[in-house]
Amino acid sequence: MLTDRFGLTLTTSLPDARDAYVKGIDHILAATFGASVAFSAAVAADPGFALGHVGLARARMYDGDMPGAQKAIASARSFASGLTEREESHLAVFDLLLQGRVSEARGAVQEHTANHPRDVLVAQICTNIFGLIGMSGEPGRESTQLAYTTKLFDALGADWWIMSVHGQALCEVGRLDEAMSMMDRSLALNNANANASHFKAHTLYEQGSGEAGRAYLADWISDYDTRSLLHGHLSWHRALWALEQEDEAELWAIYDGAIAPTVSYSLPINVLTDAAALLYRSEIAGLKVPPERWRDLSEYASQFFPNPGMSFADIHSALAHAMAGDGERLAVLTETQSGFAADLVRPVAQAWRAIARQDWTAALQHLTPVMADHARLGGSRAQRDLLELTYLNLLLRSGHAPEAHRTAIARRPIFSQSAPIAGFA
Ligand SMILES: [Fe+2]
């Protein structure tokens, strides 16, 4: 029997199928373009290769092709006889995921990885910012994430993928030196791993090393295919640093070239959240954002997220609708009961509505209770700085400048000396 790169047995006897499968998995682990092509080659070489079809389903999910993913998982099911116990369980996890049974899938991933920690395609479902732990809505999910990646790291050791997702979890709880060491070790083994370059950028951001971060990403991204999963999001990181460093020309060049809904290759959740956060962070910094940018984004949000449920997306949809002046769409989110953190989406949406009216005091009242645990909404710390900066800006605008400065020191020390907020310094 053939094995994958992690020594796990595969039910195919054709080396071409195995080799293409391994390539597909590496594309997913490194967030590089080419996974669907590779898994398609695997099942072309061996049409009965069930895990090849599962891999294709996963790749198509990342392509945003859900009908294609459903078709691939159905093919996998049709070739399920004769699989090993590990492969059967692997298929069952993806079956749950593609049925949208998210909390059952989260439990199944954790059970499966306890028995098969080297089965990385399953393990990665619960890693990353938008993975099933990150989007659980549970209190303490950042610590849960770190506990999860620690176990995987113990099992996988010196592997470039686990180092990058373990480092990500370390970064998000503030263990920055360890995070940077993980990223550098991962990149030394595979410099093409976008999960490592991404969180090297995050770690530099958390360290307040914006100039080094901006230079690093500008260089790294030049070799990264624009169609890859993280191209738009890495561009967002670059644009944030351009904003911080007051390079407005580069900020808009990056927005129009790689982030705006009409040009981005990202998944809709990244397109929406990156664009909305960048536009509003630009406004907080004192830049003028043309109203048509907000209207375009509000249209995009209503097309791709017509119903509430994905709470992290929902707070960004609400922002776009509020700034575009669409009260009807916004009202759906100020009243929503749907989503893993709907109780937090409602006050954030109400805050955006007050902000659009320039009623800073009312906005502050809505946002203040959310600040106790906005991690439940999902997203990285850098992404949730949208809320931190908004909160500081509201304190400033409603006449509480000393409190704004004390709050920055207490909550987000990287903004205590200088923050990208007009009038804060
Ligand atoms: Fe990021």
pLDDT band at residue 1 using 50, 70 and 90 as cut-offs: confident
DSSP state of 258: I
Tell me how far the alpha carbon of residue 48 lies from the centroid of ligand 1, in angstroms.
38
Tell me how far the alpha carbon of residue 203 lies from the centroid of ligand 1, in angstroms.
10
Tell me how far the alpha carbon of residue 152 lies from the centroid of ligand 1, in angstroms.
22
Q: Rounded mean pLDDT of 208-219?
A: 98
pLDDT band at residue 425 using 50, 70 and 90 as cut-offs: confident
Q: State the Cα–Cα distance between residues 258 and 22, nearest whole angstrom.
A: 29
Tell me how far the alpha carbon of residue 418 lies from the centroid of ligand 1, in angstroms.
21
Q: Rounded mean pLDDT of 312-337?
A: 98
Answer yes or no: is pLDDT of 320 > 90. Answer: yes
Tell me how far the alpha carbon of residue 274 lies from the centroid of ligand 1, in angstroms.
9
pLDDT of res. 174: 97
pLDDT band at residue 33 using 50, 70 and 90 as cut-offs: very high
The H or E element containing residue 87 is: helix 85-98
First to last CA, the chain: 65
Which domains, ranges and CATH numbers included, belong to the chain? 2-147 (1.25.40.10), 225-425 (no CATH)
Q: Rounded mean pLDDT of 11-21?
A: 97
Tell me how far the alpha carbon of residue 97 lies from the centroid of ligand 1, in angstroms.
24
pLDDT band at residue 239 using 50, 70 and 90 as cut-offs: very high
Q: State the Cα–Cα distance between residues 60 and 202, nearest whole angstrom.
A: 27
Q: Is 398 exposed, middle or buried (0-12, 13-18, 19+ CB in 10 A)?
A: middle
pLDDT tens-digit profile of 326-374?
A: 999 999 999 999 999 999 999 999 999 999 999 999 999 999 999 999 9
pLDDT tens-digit profile of 138-172?
A: 999 999 999 999 999 999 989 999 999 999 999 99
- Per the CB < 8 A criterion, the answer to whether 397 and 404 are in contact is no
Give SS3 for 2: strand
Tokens 């502050």 correspond to what residue? 364
pLDDT of res. 55: 98
Tell me how far the alpha carbon of residue 128 lies from the centroid of ligand 1, in angstroms.
10
Q: Which residues contact 76 (CB under 8 A, 6 or more apart)?
A: 50, 51, 53, 54, 57, 91, 94
Tell me how far the alpha carbon of residue 330 lies from the centroid of ligand 1, in angstroms.
26
Q: Extract long-range pairs of 16-23: CB within 8 Å, 24+ residues apart.
A: 16/41, 16/45, 16/46, 17/42, 17/43, 17/45, 17/46, 17/49, 17/52, 18/42, 20/45, 20/52, 21/49, 21/51, 21/52, 21/55
Question: What is the length of the chain?
Answer: 425
pLDDT of res. 22: 98
Q: State the Cα–Cα distance between residues 387 and 89, nearest whole angstrom.
A: 40
Answer yes or no: is pLDDT of 219 > 90. Answer: yes
Tell me how far the alpha carbon of residue 176 lies from the centroid of ligand 1, in angstroms.
15
Answer yes or no: is pLDDT of 180 > 90. Answer: yes
